[in-house]
Amino acid sequence: MNPDTAAADRRFVLSLGCPDTTGIVARIAGFLADAGAWITEAAYHSDEDTNWFFTRQAVRADSVDCTVDELRERFAALAAQHFHPDTEWRLTDSGAPKKVVILVSKESHCLIDLLGRAQRDEFPGEIVAVVGNHSSLGELTERFGVPFHLVAFDDPDVSRDEAFVRIAAIVDDHDPDAVVLARFMQILPAQLCERWARRAINIHHSFLPSFVGARPYHQAFARGVKLIGATCHYVTAELDAGPIIEQDVIRVDHGDNVADMVRQGRDIETLVLARGVRWHLEDRVLVHGAKTVVFD
């Protein structure tokens, strides 16, 4: 990318959620105007059920009269004075590359899709490592120039808890912005769900909350469903119950067997995971309780 184009495309992104009241938009707009900010995206949502307000504002970084750290300090002062104490906000710089660690087992389709997008510069982050509990995806990963770490769960000398300690050490060493479970097929311990809260992202091969847990396509086939889908969600200690980022479905019929459903499901899984991870890395996902607002 041309350096001039990259500089023009660089954005400071402010995302905020707070109890709804009058004057929020005016204060944010005034703050950005005072900084000379050229707004390129502005999205708002007011949830009447929870009385919670959400916004995402993207501004041209080259229009602002200070660094992103200085802008954070200024906004922190404004928020402390004028916003509710429960307000959650962050201000990020799209020029600072986001880091991603991917956890995998044997299924390759989601991993290949993400690695391919990153190689084509179609992914808003850097995949810094892949951790697998089988060796089968190691050569594939390294062909893309990404380090692969094997942490086997079938080693009789290593307990499951010890294996997760090793995985956590690898992940935390990179301090990633996203930990993507790309068909990892292992349940994260509660302490890691807490440590990686709102960073750990899973793809579930079902349209949640239907058919949770293992073998959802077999469950769907047994019920004769006409739609199958996939769900990208944040990981929590409650299995397959974290805040949902993205979902999609495709139609099947009585002539499709389980293998047909699995094949078609892989297609939808890759798309849903790619969208969900992209929106997370672009700070388009705001979480409140068990729900998300996604400014896509």
User: Torsion-angle region of residue 114: left (phi > 0), alpha (psi -120 to 50) or beta?
Assistant: alpha
* Nearest 10 degrees: Cα torsion 229, 177, 10, 296: 20
Task: Please enumerate in sequence order all residues whose Cβ is within 8 A of that of 81, keeping only pairs 6 or more positions apart, or say none.
Answer: none
List 4, 49, 121, 240, catalytic entry = 240
Cα angle: 72, vertex 74, 80; to 5 degrees: 95
User: Torsion-angle region of residue 226: left (phi > 0), alpha (psi -120 to 50) or beta?
Assistant: alpha
Q: Tell me how far CA of residue 84 lies from CA of 13, 23, 46, 99, in angstroms.
A: 20, 12, 15, 31
CB-CB contact of 16 with 87 (8 Å): yes
Active site residue 175: no
Three-state DSSP state, 290: coil
* Nearest 10 degrees: Cα torsion 203, 209, 215, 216: -100
Q: Catalytic residue numbers?
A: 240
